Structure 1
Amino acid sequence: MQKRRRTSSSCIALFLCTVLLSLILPRCVSCAGTDKTVVNKEEYLSAIINATVQDSKGNTKRVISKEDGRYGQNSPKTEVTGIIITPSAVNGVVDMQGCCTNTRFIIPPKTTHWIALLQRGKCMFKEKILKAAAFNASAVLIYNNSSKEDTVTMAHEGTGDTVAVMITESLGKDLLYFVEKNETVWVSVSVGSRGPVKNLNRGSLVFVSISFIVLMIISSAWLIFYFIQKIRDTNARDRSQRRLGDAAKKAISKLTTRTVKRGDKETEPDFNHCAVCIEGYQLNDVVRILPCKHVFHKMCVDPWLNEHCTCPMCKLNILKALGIMPNLQCVDNVAFDMERMTRTHSSSQRVALMDVSSETSVSVEPLTRSGSSQLLSESELTHTHTHRSGEINIAVTKEWFIVGSFAVLSVLTLCYMIIRATGNNNDNTAVLMFKVAHGALTDFSEELLNTKGEMFDLYLRAHPEKVPRYKPSQHGHFGASSYPRKFDWRDRRAVGPVHNQKSVSVSKQEVMSSICGGCWAFSVVSAVESVRVKDGGKFQELSVQQVIDCAYKSQGCDGGSPVSTLAWLKQSGEKLVNETEYPYEEKTGVCQVFPWGHGGVSVKDYAAFDFSGQEEEMSRRLVEWGPLVVIVDAVSWQDYQGGVIQHHCSAEHANHAVIITGYDTTGEVPFWIVRNSWGTSWGDEGYAYIKMGENMCGVADSVAAVFL
């Protein structure tokens, strides 16, 4: 233990030295090598912006003078004067970034010199400047897209003699304000003072790289130790699982089976369906009767019993009921992890289980306790081994956490140095690390998010199911007079706060480990919360983790279906408890069982329809039924920051579950009000707005409602 502590202390000392020297060395090298050439390369040239605002009669209304600009690296450092012109609207949309292929500038007649005003973002600086230059702009002013970011020296080689200047967000929005009021804004750009560029040289970069390699060698040594111990623990766990599997098979063989015949109660219309597959019983179906008298299809319930050893409905422990393991407190804590096993061995496991139980006859075997003492001794051995391996696991986890922390910090430091040393080559790179460090989904760059589909893809884990077309004739119909043009359940205090599927993290590795693709569970629980308020109850924040852990036919944080989840809630009668009783953990855990009389909210029924082509009728159902659960194609949502989504949103691949809380048809573009589960830093305080009437993003393909 002392040796491990000394090693950890050495790692900490090495990392601190790396950071300190990486900050000190650049200054030392810079001071030692001062000459005119180096100074020129590490300087920027500021720009003075003088703006005069005139009304339609030519009277001066306001004068602005600020040294808030910075000439681009490849821009002519000359003075330029002209009127400010912004991109014109195309199909009702204004592309202030100047990145779209159809971006146009409307130049007033007899205008000889004009300056384009564009917003930073979406594409390269070079593309923006060339777009304005194609319309003979004398200069381009690009204002920042964040008040927290400083202006940078833009790199835009190949833009000719067009003057390019970056200005602050506040100045850019001031100029834009007057332009949008149809007032004339004359701007004069003149050369300002010089300033040093905060940059790092190659010497510092090499030093940081060497330090990074040393830390990686230390981390690799600990990795080897970790995986060796991991293999040992896996082997021990497999032995324990095999013993439990044998016990489960013995218990299953003692349960009653029966073939459904004509006249049996299972064939009656009022008899409950199988709670596992949610289908009725047919003639010649083989059913299994549990000690609690619940009946299921044999081929449906046997895999569940083999993995959980409990009744899917009442959670009765069949091992205790049959006297095989009477002293075991909770089999679910040591049974197979169903979600993990079904993803890897589902098909082969079902075949094996059917072979094991196929020899069971129609006659009922008497319940015996033979072999219980032998199994108890095996259980004691298993618990002893698990306790010992758990101690080793705790020690390994602590060491692995330390090593992982060093590796993450080293990677962040190296990436930061590389970005600062290589300069600002495009519009997104300069702010990449700052944005990732703050953990907002919309702040990840496109390159990072699209690398092998990681990170952003982890959010999109909702599984769509085919639902029937909605038929208005089979449901109530609103009259035209009772149909509100604008409606939002938030106005009735029926919608809770916006949730976040992950925590704020500081690195890519930590973000990936904390993201839970449980949007399907968040949407269902949010709908239940809102409908409860709609029906006259008080708002109660319910447990999302309970649904992630316990919902049958789901994979927890790896995905699930809202429709299947609602069916499970209806058939099983599971009561959703308070969030404080079962808090969200951002990972899939073992299902916690509450007593049958424990309080909670249960789902009596649900409805699921395809409203494509009937979004007006869908809005009426929202008013009557409450917030709706929908599955959308959210691949294009990663950069959404506000406004109505009305273009470039596919409906082909439904992958993300959200709830619709309202709509607004009073404006030129009608839209749905959608509540997401990516935190309040995404979109408009966690909300998005989707155009109505065109099935944008597939919003009407799979719509579900909850009834309590």
Structure 2
Amino acid sequence: MGSGKTQLFSCLLFGCLLQHAAGFVFWTAVVEISYVNNQNVTIDKYCECGIFGRNSAVERAQGVVTLPKGDPKGCGPDPVYNRNSSSPAWIALVKRGNCTFSEKIQAATRQGAAAVIIYNVDGSGNTTTHMSHPETTGAVAIMIGNFQGMEIVRLLQNGTEVQMIIEVGSPHGPWMDMYWLYFLSIAFFIAITGAIAYFVFISANRLYSLRRHKRAEKRLKNEAKKAIQRLEVRSLKRGDEETTSEILMCAVCIESYKIGDVVTVLTCDHIFHKACIEPWLLERRTCPMCKCDILKALGVEEDSKDGFSHNSPPEVTVITVAGGEAMYEVPLTDTASPQHYENRAFEDEPSRG
């Protein structure tokens, strides 16, 4: 479900990105005019000074420049253009204002104009805008500056025939190359797909590891229960060394032994209260004092395929007498190394660890 939402969001994101990127890109137009002056000299001028409209066909066009009769802005249902030339191809030159770009272009193309040039309003210099005319897609329409447009208008009003060629210039905007945009889009989709695949893999791997760990822990707890049942359990009686010594005490609850206490003797001969040591063994399966593994000692082999370490982290167990100083401490490190106790009673009695 989350993956579907991610893909939907990506599609919406890149759909908007492509749409807006296409709107940001605009193409310039190279405008070339040719006419004969009063001295019978042919004058050729050209400049990359036009801008194709947002909905214009970006292609070449040529013809004789023609002005509308009466209103220079070319508005109205069917403005009539002054066509004194015998050339069949003609280009309409109209001024900006009074009506929409689409209306100007439609009025000219209905009468057969090969292209429409709209020059900017008075006082704007040679500035242009990226005009929008969504109702006239397919027609060649460009905008030029006011100074450039008025120069051509004066020539035409003086009776000079002006030939014009419109060539495609160069693209401009933040996305200069649409192929590069497509490449970035594909790269983004690949990155998103890879991230989702990686997330799914990591989540599945963690879930699998957690389940395997739980199965291993459950199995080891069952083995520990069986091992605990095989340990020696006895009740302390009057005269037992544990009840008469002020040094010997349960290392789990840090309390001295009393007559009638039920104790468990581990495979390493260390003694603990039965109620104290059994929960400990179910979770850790090792002696709190010497780290002896009761499962191994009783011949229960752990499944090496589980790949988990079930040993408790190194720690130090400190045995204290209530209200007194620490009597001895046992570093719980490598079980293979011999243990040395500060309390001489443990060295005198090997059977006690």
Same fold? TM cut 0.5: no
Task: Decide which structure has the larger Cα Rg and report it.
Answer: 2
> What's the TM-score, normalizing by structure 1?
0.21
Q: Which has the higher contact order (CA 8 A, sep 6+)?
A: 2
